[in-house]
Amino acid sequence: MMARLIEGVPRRALVLLALLLAGLIVAPWLANDYLITTLILILYFAYTGQAWNVMMGFAGQLSLGHAIYVGLGGYASAALFVHFGIAPWLGLIAAVAVAVACGAIIGFLAFRFRVGGVYFAILTIAFAEFARIGFDHLSWVGASSGFFLPVANYSRSDLWNLRGSPTMFYYVILALTVGAFVLCHALLKSRMGHYWQAIREDEVAARSLGINTFRYKMYAVVISAGMTSVAGVFFAFYYNNLFPEQVFSIGRSIELILSPVIGGIGTLFGPIVGAFLLTGLSEAMQNLLSQLGIDVPGAKQVFYGLCLLAVVLAVPEGVWPWLKRGVGLKGEST
């Protein structure tokens, strides 16, 4: 299995990958708390970007409402924890189940009734909006005034209940990001990955090759939704609060897709490179601004906009494919 996973990956890529991973593993010993929280944010967006990429980058189905899966995952696990004391790792199962069910409904409605392209994207936004309005009125989880997890000072990290220091959360999100990367790599190399790419490129031609496009598009939505909901669990336990107006907002959905868009849609490194660039640079910029004593509300959004503009104009396929040629790796869609 392992041998097959790394088959065909250039040696230089493996070395770079190992160095990157080693750097990330030792980072908490070298970095201060601020840097750790920034790295957590970067890895969070790398993870969610990877999950979104399964649907759009691999199977060509544009979702602009992915915040719904983050929100459902977060609310499901947080509610189980607060109301019944169920640990997040068990709540995760419920979170994934809810998100998968939701993804299956959206996918079924769209693909059964042949809602494609832009109209599919609008449908995903609509569902995220339904969720936002619905949760705004769901008093069981605090409705519009928000849902809070108990916060206390923990003397030591409790991994089972996900209560503890930023360093613990850092390793959790790092493990998730690495897991998502390996999973996506395996998916892309599998029969399903080949079928997804065929569907992305030309659905009519894909069907003429005997591919049940409905079924494989459903797999893409459901896998992407399930993966994204895991980030929701992380989000809820890391931030300890959930507000429907925030978690389900279209702004969040857009934020989730920026990393792969900047880094390179459909590539494995795209979401990671994009997250480092975008979040890293925007944090650096905000730091610089605050040190200069300049307070500019909305500076982050403007910065994101400029980044998008620069990428679309200069490297429309994303930063990673361009970078990849620079470091002498070619071929392979990784």
Partner 1 sequence: MTALLRVDEVGKRFRGLTAVDKVSFSIEPSTIFALIGPNGAGKTTLFNIIAGLITPDGGAITFAGERIDRLPPDAVCRRGIGRTFQLVRPFPNLSVEDNVIAGALLRRPDVVRARHRAHEVLWQLDLFDRRHQRASTLTLPDRKRLEVARALATDPKLLLLDEVMAGLRPAETDRMVVILTKLNRETGLTILLIEHVMRAVMALASRVLVLHHGAAIAEGPPSAVVREPAVIESYLGAEAVE
Pick the closer one to partner 1 by CB: 165 or 190.
190
Pick the closer one to partner 1 by CB: 12 or 191.
191
Site residues for partner 1, 161-220, by CB under 8 A, read 189-191, 194-195, 197-198, 201-202, 204-213
- 328 lies in the binding site for partner 1 (CB under 8 A): no
Pick the closer one to partner 1 by CB: 150 or 331.
331
- Min CB(114)–partner 1 separation in Å: 12
- Min CB(12)–partner 1 separation in Å: 18
Pick the closer one to partner 1 by CB: 131 or 198.
198
Pick the closer one to partner 1 by CB: 60 or 271.
60
CB atoms within 10 A of CB 292: 8
Q: Which has the closest alpha carbon to 78: 3, 181, 151, 149? A: 149
Size, binding site for partner 1 by CB under 8 A: 20
Pick the closer one to partner 1 by CB: 129 or 203.
203
- Min CB(194)–partner 1 separation in Å: 5
- Min CB(272)–partner 1 separation in Å: 21
d(CA 331, CA 334): 8
DSSP letter string over 159-214? TTTTBS-HHHHHHHHHHHHHHHHHHHHHHHHSHHHHHHHHHHH-HHHHHHTT--HH
- 300 lies in the binding site for partner 1 (CB under 8 A): no
d(CA 188, CA 225): 17
Q: Which residue type is seen at 246? A: Q
81-86 long-range contacts, CB within 8 A, separation 24+: 81/149, 81/161, 81/237, 82/147, 82/149, 82/150, 83/140
- Min CB(212)–partner 1 separation in Å: 5
Which tokens in the block code for residue 193? Answer: 């990955």
d(CA 98, CA 310): 38
164: left (phi over 0), alpha (psi -120 to 50) or beta: left
Find all residues with CB under 8 Å of 282, minimum gap 6, and list them: 300, 303, 304
- Min CB(107)–partner 1 separation in Å: 17
Pick the closer one to partner 1 by CB: 28 or 57.
57
What phi and psi values does residue 122 have, to the nearest 5 degrees? -65, -40
Q: Which residues pair with residue 112 across a beta bridge?
A: none
CA atoms within 13 A on the CB side of 250: 10
Pick the closer one to partner 1 by CB: 60 or 88.
60
Pick the closer one to partner 1 by CB: 28 or 193.
193
Q: Yes or no: say if 257 and 56 are a contact pair by the CB < 8 Å rule.
A: yes
- Min CB(207)–partner 1 separation in Å: 4
- Min CB(202)–partner 1 separation in Å: 5
Q: Yes or no: say if 218 and 99 are a contact pair by the CB < 8 Å rule.
A: no
- Min CB(21)–partner 1 separation in Å: 26
Residues of the shown chain interacting with partner 1 in the complex, contacts defined by CB under 8 A: 189-191, 194-195, 197-198, 201-202, 204-213, 331
